[in-house]
């Protein structure tokens, strides 16, 4: 059985994951209308992944005797000056999500809820991967600079990341 405090904290994380999905969906739309097909496919895949993270939390809360709450979401930004700026925002957002997960883990320690602590370890590992991917992408973008040929190749190459991400099994 979840404590009320942990249930509230998990519901906050559910909202964060839902908003993450919306942010990446909005980024996908912006990339798509700006002719960045590979980037848009990557962002669509990221959006789907964040939704799966949300669903995993929802199932956990409900299975542990809590009640997952679906709330209104903040509207995401709909346009970006540059694709580099968009990826900088993605990286900052992933750091924000990591900090939120870490705070959640801290609460489980305080409350001695080791089952939830154990459940959250998947999210801790996932965030390490998400931050590393975002940082690697930013590093590649910085290498490209203003080279249009480099942008073309980057857009094509990032499709492979999206394809690989899309083949990952959905969390249970």
Q: Which residues are annotated as a binding site for Fe cation?
A: 17, 50, 53, 94, 127
Burial label for 112, CB within 10 Å (0-12, 13-18, 19+), is exposed
If one counts every other C-beta atom within 10 angstroms of the C-beta of residue 150, the result is 14
CA distances from 138 to 4, 21, 104 (A): 39, 20, 27
Question: Which letter does DSSP use for residue 171 in this model?
Answer: P
Q: Per the annotation, where are the binding residues?
A: 17, 50, 53, 94, 127
The CA distance from 17 to 40, in Å, is: 19
CA atoms 14, 20, 25, 29: torsion sign: positive
């Amino acid at each position: 059985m979840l404590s009320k405090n942990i249930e509230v904290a998990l519901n906050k994380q559910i909202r964060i994951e839902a908003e993450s999905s919306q942010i990446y969906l909005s980024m996908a739309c912006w990339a798509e209308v700006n002719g960045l097909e590979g980037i848009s496919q990557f962002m669509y895949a990221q959006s789907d992944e964040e939704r799966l993270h949300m669903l995993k939390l929802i199932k956990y809360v409900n299975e542990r005797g809590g009640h997952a709450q679906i709330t209104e979401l903040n509207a995401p930004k709909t346009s970006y000056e540059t694709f580099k700026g968009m990826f900088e925002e993605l990286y900052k957002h992933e750091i924000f999500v990591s900090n939120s997960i870490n705070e959640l883990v801290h609460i489980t320690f305080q409350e001695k809820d080791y089952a939830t602590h154990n459940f959250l370890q998947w999210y801790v590992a996932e965030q390490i991967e998400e931050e590393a991917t975002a940082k690697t992408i930013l590093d590649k973008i910085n290498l490209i600079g203003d080279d249009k040929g480099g942008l073309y190749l980057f857009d094509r190459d990032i499709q492979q990341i999206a394809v690989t991400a899309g083949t990952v099994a959905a969390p249970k």
